[in-house]
């Protein structure tokens, strides 16, 4: 077969699959729209149940205009409330099948009170009864009462689309959703019913719900002498599975690593009380790493002239005293500001210059 022919066949296959998927979705949407219309119709029917023509001569109304209960006026009121103005699909379906509503209202309602069945399923044929699917409303696997034996969803259920295949619920698998998935076991099982329950967390496969019922242990678990799957304590291994300056936390079937407290140089748990050694700048006091106040040590740590010591967590800073600033590693007097140099030495209270300088100093 030529390459071009192969490509053409693949392209056609893709189109067919896409069309099938789109058709299923279209059938589902049409049925959903129809069900919503019927639901709104029933709500409108209830809303208008206690209304009348609003006239004063009830006898004349019943004789000349018939009862409001079965009147065309009531039908129109209900039809006007079926769709939102923005819903194209809904309005299109109502307009296309308005005559069917009139037929049902005046001729079929008494004999066929179920509007959903008469309109959506039997007349315009966009839906199927629950538990059936496809153009001919075939019965889903497991029966219409319990599609997929009650353990899954039948594709196309209630619509004219789908292929009827089962999508099983969590814990179930197989074409009929009767088999138990991995890590689940059958508590009850016959030809038409299956109840699957989850294995113990330590099991990959099991025959019951406890750790003793495991047929195979999951990763992070091992079988003990009694045949029970027990947790492996990875944190007890040497060397530790965690990095330096991390501590290990064991949990069921696994472990986790967390960063040590900044005050620790190696640790066995959280906080400064679990340090194996203290970080630089900290000391051990009754089993807890606490900050060393370098500024209170007998030997000064800030030795330059006009320096003062400021303690920080795990360290310290050497800062220049007030009135000095750092320059090339030494503290030198801060230069006088330009305003200070120009300020006149005057005791005259009324001097405008003095008032101006005082104002700036307040700022």
Structure confidence at residue 182 (pLDDT): 93
CA–CA gap between residue 147 and residue 151 (Å, rounded): 8
CA–CA gap between residue 363 and residue 50 (Å, rounded): 80
Residue 148 placed within a domain: no
Structure confidence at residue 351 (pLDDT): 44
Q: Do 27 and 69 fall into the same domain?
A: yes
Structure confidence at residue 45 (pLDDT): 94
Contact 264/314 with Cβ under 8 angstroms? no
Q: Do 123 and 28 fall into the same domain?
A: yes
Residue 352 placed within a domain: no
Residue 10 placed within a domain: no
Q: Do 111 and 23 fall into the same domain?
A: yes
Number of folded domains in the chain?
4
Is the pLDDT reported for residue 142 higher than 70? yes
Structure confidence at residue 66 (pLDDT): 55
Structure confidence at residue 28 (pLDDT): 86
Structure confidence at residue 53 (pLDDT): 54
Considering only CA atoms, which of 185, 155, 189 is closest in space to residue 171?
A: 185
Structure confidence at residue 61 (pLDDT): 57
Q: What is the pLDDT of residues 144-195, one digit of tens each?
A: 999 999 999 999 999 999 999 999 999 999 999 999 999 999 999 999 999 9
- Global pTM value: 0.63
Task: State the residue range of the domain holding 216.
Answer: 199-232
Structure confidence at residue 358 (pLDDT): 34
DSSP code string of 29-85: HHHHHHHHHHHHHHHHHHHTTT-----S-HHHIIIII--GGG-HHHHHHHHHTSS-T
Q: Which whole-number Å values give the CA distances from 361 to 323, 339, 340, 358, in the listed order?
A: 17, 10, 10, 5
Structure confidence at residue 339 (pLDDT): 58
Is the pLDDT reported for residue 241 higher than 60? yes
Higher pLDDT, 287 or 345: 287
Q: What is the pLDDT of residues 84-117, one digit of tens each?
A: 989 999 999 999 999 999 999 999 999 999 999 9
Q: Do 107 and 118 fall into the same domain?
A: yes
Residue 14 placed within a domain: no
Q: What is the pLDDT of residues 304-355, one digit of tens each?
A: 898 999 999 999 999 999 999 988 889 999 988 765 555 555 444 444 443 4
Look up tokens 């360290």; give the residue.
Answer: 315
Q: Do 211 and 113 fall into the same domain?
A: no
- CATH code of residue 326: 2.10.25.10
Structure confidence at residue 353 (pLDDT): 40
Q: What is the pLDDT of residues 13-72, one digit of tens each?
A: 444 443 444 466 787 899 999 999 999 999 999 998 877 655 555 565 555 555 788 889
């Amino acid at each position: 077969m030529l390459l071009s022919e192969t490509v053409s066949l693949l392209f056609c296959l893709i189109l067919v699959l896409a069309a099938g998927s789109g058709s299923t979705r279209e059938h589902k949407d049409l049925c959903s729209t129809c069900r919503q219309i019927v639901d709104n119709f029933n709500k409108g029917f209830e809303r208008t149940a206690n209304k009348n023509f609003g006239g004063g001569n009830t006898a004349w109304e019943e004789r000349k205009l018939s009862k409001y209960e079965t009147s065309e006026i009531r039908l129109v009121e209900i039809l006007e409330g079926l769709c939102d103005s923005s819903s194209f699909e809904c309005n299109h379906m109502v307009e296309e099948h308005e005559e069917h509503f009139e037929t049902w209202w005046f001729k079929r309602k008494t004999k066929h009170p179920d509007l959903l069945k008469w309109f959506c399923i039997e007349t315009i044929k966009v839906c199927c009864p629950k538990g059936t699917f496809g153009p001919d409303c075939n019965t889903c696997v497991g029966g219409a009462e319990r599609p997929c034996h009650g353990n899954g969803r039948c594709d196309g259920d209630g619509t004219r689309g789908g292929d009827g295949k089962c999508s099983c619920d969590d814990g179930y698998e197989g074409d009929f959703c009767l088999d138990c998935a991995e890590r689940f076991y059958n508590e009850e099982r016959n030809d038409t019913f299956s109840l699957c329950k989850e294995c113990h967390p330590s099991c990959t496969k099991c025959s019951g719900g406890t750790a003793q019922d495991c047929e195979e242990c999951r990763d992070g678990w091992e079988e003990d002498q009694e045949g029970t799957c027990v947790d492996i304590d990875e944190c007890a291994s040497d060397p530790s599975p965690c990095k330096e300056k991390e501590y290990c936390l064991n949990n069921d079937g696994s472990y986790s690593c967390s960063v040590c407290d900044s005050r620790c140089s190696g640790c066995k748990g959280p906080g400064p009380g679990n340090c194996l050694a203290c970080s630089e700048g900290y000391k051990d006091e009754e089993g807890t790493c606490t900050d060393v106040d370098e500024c209170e040590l007998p030997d000064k740590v800030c030795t330059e002239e006009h320096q003062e010591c400021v303690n920080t967590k795990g360290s310290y800073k050497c800062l220049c005293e007030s009135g000095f600033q750092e320059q090339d590693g030494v503290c030198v007097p801060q230069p006088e500001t330009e305003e200070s140099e120009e300020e006149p030495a005057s005791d005259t209270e009324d001097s405008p210059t003095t008032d101006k300088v005082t104002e700036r100093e307040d700022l």
